[in-house]
Amino acid sequence: MSTQAPEAVAEQEGGLKSRLSHPLIGPLFVTAAVITSAIHVYFNSLGLMSELRFAAIHFGLFGFIGALLFPFRKSEATTVRGISLDLLVGSIALFCGIYFLFNDYDYWARGGRMAGIDPYVALAAVAVALELLRRTMGIFIPLLILFMLSYAGFWGQHISGVFRFPSISANEILARSYFGDLGLFGQIAQISMTYVFMFVLFGAFLVKSGAAEFIIDLARSVARRAIGGSGMVAVMGSALMGSINGSAVGNIATTGVVTIPLMKRSGYTPRFAAAVETAASTGGPLLPPIMGAGAFVMSSYTQIPYVTIAAVSVLPALLYFASVLFFVRMEAIREGATEFVDPDARPIARVLKDGWHTLMPVLVLVALLVVGYSATYSAAGAIVSVIVFSWLSPRNRMGPRQVVEAMIDGTRNATPTAILLVAIGLLVGILGTTGFGPTFSLMILEWSRGSLLLMLLFIVLVSLVLGMGLPVTAAYIVLATISAPSLADLITSGHVIDMMVAGNLPDQAGMFFQLAEPAFPAMMEAGLTAAQARALLDGLPLELRATLRPMVLEPELMMLSLLSAHMIIFWLSQDSNVTPPVCLPAFVAAAIAGSAPMRTGLTAFRLAKGLYIVPLLFAFTPLLSGDWGTMMTIFLPALIGIHALAAALSGVIEHRAGLALRLVSLLLGAVLLWPLEAELKIIPAALYLGLLWWSWRRRLAQAEALPAR
């Protein structure tokens, strides 16, 4: 995803079509895309190459394709000069990838020293990666990477304070960037070449088999007679499609062209219709089984299996989409759009009969993951199943031509993300090499003064700032690198403090506190208060606290805190999609709806409040515990509470509510979302459900009285 305006996006699409119709570029791209797709499926299925070498091939192939798809200048997209320059850039990227295959062992045999043309190839690889990143994502991220590279190599030694860094040579920076596992071909690139590409390719095969049409038809059938049914079609359709493609912009381009005009015809304003599609598409990467690239990065960062992350993400994603559905229904009631019936919606039985097979590959994918196959192998098996199940449809049977088209679409869709993830490895590597990330994490921990809520506020603010220049996945990677350790520490600090107050701290752990406070044994003997325990814990350096946690906490609790921290950051990083002034999905939806982009973004921001509410549950409740009984006791009250908050914000329950009812709804919603015991939420839940039933009866009575007027 880039940070370009809708006009720029449309211009880029037009230029891309004209370039791909070029007699040289078109066939060259098709050939490269098919080869790239085949190589990735082959190596991801059989795993016959080292990860660094595979990442180098990944960079070379997608660098070549990226140069074909994204010209240096749009005005010269089809000129001889422009094509020659782009072929040169793509060829350099391909050469740099191939060069690595024949020289990496020699580099390590020399003790990690570059020789011959190694420095020039490394410099060319970095320069090409940054240039392709500029073409696909805009100028901000390349400038940020250059800023951090110069910090490590030049001016870091000239500043004072905690961020002072003794510079390393330019030669060493190039070596680490090209040959090391913290640069272009490191962990982030390896996620791109495996999980991300395979699941993007799977999504392309699903779309080619007719899944997009089936999803839209199914959503229209389910919601064809519901209040606000057209908006519900947008939410349900975008949820399902977004879980397949993992891109808010791609989701809007697929479903928005159908749902936005449908919402406008049913009585919604163009601005609200575009905002609903934006908010719903933003939630697509949050919904399993196929989530966005960030979910795969999360799995790699935390070493928690992707299937576990997907499983615990189901209920939170449902909470988010329920919150958008609540706003849609309330807006329909406010505008009086309660009688719309979709005339083109088919009966649900017929839709299921005609298209049930298109989603069977998703079940195959889930089954393979649950059985224990790797994510990449499962994706490969699911791709094969798409082809097999497509032959149950008379309209979308996938023969050799359709398979090739799906390979081309998948490679094209994956190209911007692949370039982003390869290049962002430079930034992650520098953050790790210089210690900038851990230092910033310590600063956030100090600023929060032990308050988890205050730390979440800081992370929200940083996320908003990053979202103004970074796409969602990049924002998550950077934010996780600099804040996840301190957030995970603070999530579990309450458990450590409880053990200290209760006097249950292991002797080995007590030695850490004694280093910082010699009187610690006497204090423990006299009994610690919660405030004293908090002060002692806050006085430990983050490194010591990281060592202390495994001694004190159960492994399951450690994993849960790490998962919660990363899930919070992953959710908050999605807010750049709906937060003006930079919210490309809202701009794209506004272009389709014919509404004002900034006002559309502000409305989408209001509809997407779940992005901020649900992460609070991650931080203060065991919503991600994996124990379905525990999770449901949190989910059900939260579902009612989110409806209550939506009613308070919109001024509609089942009829227009006055100030008093809005305040009551706000109070009950806050109680239902507060981290209390489940038993204490029964009465507030019953009170609000009673209020909801009364409001529904009042709306029906008002509707019956209308003809008499």
Identify the pLDDT of residue 178: 93
Per-residue DSSP letters for 472-519? HHHHHHHHHHHHHHHHHHHHHHHHHHHHHHHT---HHHHHHHHHH-TT
Identify the pLDDT of residue 403: 94
Q: Check whether 174 has a pLDDT greater than 50.
A: yes
Question: What is d(CA 47, CA 49) in angstroms, rounded to the nearest whole number?
Answer: 6
Give the global pTM.
0.86
Residues 585/252, Cβ–Cβ less than 8 Å: yes
Q: Check whether 451 has a pLDDT greater than 60.
A: yes
Task: Give me the mean pLDDT over the 117-135 stretch.
Answer: 95
Radius of gyration of the chain (CA): 27
Residues 372/261, Cβ–Cβ less than 8 Å: no
Contacts of 49 (CB under 8 A, 6+ apart): 43, 57
Residue type for 33, please?
A
Residues 657/683, Cβ–Cβ less than 8 Å: no
Helices 360-371 and 197-208 cross at an angle (nearest 10°) of 150
Mean pLDDT of the residues in the chain: 85
Q: Check whether 63 has a pLDDT greater than 90.
A: yes
Residue type for 691, please?
L
Identify the pLDDT of residue 345: 74
- Phi/psi of residue 4, nearest 5 degrees: -95, 155
Q: Alpha helices of 47-79 — where are they, by DSSP H? A: 51-69
Counting every residue, how long is the chain?
709
Q: Check whether 8 has a pLDDT greater than 50.
A: no
> Residue 339: pLDDT band by 50, 70, 90 thresholds?
low
pLDDT in tens, 607-654: 888 999 999 999 999 999 878 889 999 999 999 999 999 999 999 998
Residue type for 148, please?
M
Question: Peptide bond preceding 581: is omega within 30 degrees of 0, i.e. cis?
Answer: yes
pLDDT in tens, 526-565: 888 888 888 888 777 766 777 777 788 888 888 888 999 9
Q: Check whether 7 has a pLDDT greater than 60.
A: no
pLDDT in tens, 69-91: 999 888 777 788 889 999 999 99
Q: Check whether 225 has a pLDDT greater than 80.
A: no
Q: Which of 243, 280, 283 is nearest to 258 (CA)?
A: 280
- Cα 149 to Cα 146, 175, 661: the distances in Å are 5, 13, 56
Q: For 107-116, 454-463, 575-584, which range has the lowest pLDDT when averaged over its residues?
A: 575-584
> Residue 3: pLDDT band by 50, 70, 90 thresholds?
very low
Identify the pLDDT of residue 637: 96
- Cα 633 to Cα 27, 500, 515, 554: the distances in Å are 57, 29, 42, 23
Q: Check whether 693 has a pLDDT greater than 90.
A: yes
Helices 400-434 and 51-69 cross at an angle (nearest 10°) of 110
Identify the pLDDT of residue 337: 65
Q: Check whether 493 has a pLDDT greater than 50.
A: yes
> Residue 5: pLDDT band by 50, 70, 90 thresholds?
very low
Identify the pLDDT of residue 9: 43
For 329, the token pair is 């229904």
Question: What is d(CA 432, CA 109) in angstroms, rounded to the nearest whole number?
Answer: 25
Identify the pLDDT of residue 244: 74
Identify the pLDDT of residue 66: 95
Q: Check whether 15 has a pLDDT greater than 60.
A: no
- Phi/psi of residue 620, nearest 5 degrees: -110, -5
Helix or strand or coil: residue 622? coil
* H-helix or E-strand spanning residue 527: none
Identify the pLDDT of residue 6: 39
Task: Give me the mean pLDDT over the 359-379 stretch.
Answer: 88
- Cα 238 to Cα 252, 255, 285, 325, 600: the distances in Å are 8, 6, 10, 12, 17
**In the chain, pLDDT over 70 holds for what percent of residues?**
94
Most confident of 425-439, 462-476, 494-508, 636-650: 636-650
- Cα 569 to Cα 122, 482, 489, 493, 652: the distances in Å are 33, 11, 14, 18, 31
- Phi/psi of residue 595, nearest 5 degrees: -115, 170
> Residue 94: pLDDT band by 50, 70, 90 thresholds?
very high
For 92, the token pair is 């350099």
Q: Check whether 10 has a pLDDT greater than 80.
A: no
Contacts of 493 (CB under 8 A, 6+ apart): 450, 452, 534, 537
Q: Which residue has the higher pLDDT, 555 or 320?
A: 320
Task: Give me the mean pLDDT over the 578-584 stretch.
Answer: 74
Residues 404/164, Cβ–Cβ less than 8 Å: no
pLDDT in tens, 232-253: 888 888 888 877 766 777 778 7
> Residue 709: pLDDT band by 50, 70, 90 thresholds?
very low
Q: Check whether 496 has a pLDDT greater than 70.
A: yes
Task: Give me the mean pLDDT over the 98-107 stretch.
Answer: 93
Sequence-separated contacts (24+) of 500-505 with Cβ below 8 Å: 500/524, 500/528, 500/533, 500/536, 500/537, 501/527, 501/528, 501/529, 501/530, 501/533, 503/527, 503/528, 505/552
Helix or strand or coil: residue 112? coil
Identify the pLDDT of residue 596: 86
